[in-house]
Amino acid sequence: MASRLFFLCARGSGRALLAASLLQSTAENRFEIWSSLPQDTQEQALIEHLTQEQGVALLTPDHPVQWTDHNLTHHSRCRSASPLAR
């Protein structure tokens, strides 16, 4: 079973999606990778452009998810979670 990784940017920027996409392109299915989505649609478009420019596939649509504090602490895949520092 592959290890699961969740990339989260607490401020809603696209860094999590970019990092997850870069890891997915090199991880060779060693990880199940999830990411929070950028809140800004222009930022998501920029990330799509950057990944295409570098020949990296953007994380597949079934793995980016819009997370809330409730999802983070109650998601069935999370065995335990600690509060995020803000």
Domain ranges of the chain: 3-74
pLDDT in tens, 68-82: 555 554 443 444 333
Q: Confidence class of residue 18 from pLDDT cuts 50, 70 and 90?
A: very high
Q: What is the pLDDT of residue 77?
A: 43
Answer with the residue of higher pLDDT: 72 or 21. Answer: 21
Tokens representing 76 are 């069935």
Whole-number Cα distances in Å, 30 to 8, 16, 36, 73, 75: 19, 18, 20, 25, 22
**What SS3 state is found at 63?**
coil
Q: Confidence class of residue 2 from pLDDT cuts 50, 70 and 90?
A: confident
pLDDT in tens, 28-59: 888 888 888 888 889 989 999 999 999 999 88
Instruction: Decide if 65 contacts 36 (C-beta within 8 A).
Output: yes
Q: Confidence class of residue 67 from pLDDT cuts 50, 70 and 90?
A: low
pTM of the model: 0.69
Which one of 3.40.50.2300, 3.30.43.10, 3.30.429.10, 3.10.180.10 gives the CATH number of domain 3-74?
3.40.50.2300
Q: What is the pLDDT of residue 39?
A: 86
Instruction: Decide if 23 contacts 5 (C-beta within 8 A).
Output: yes
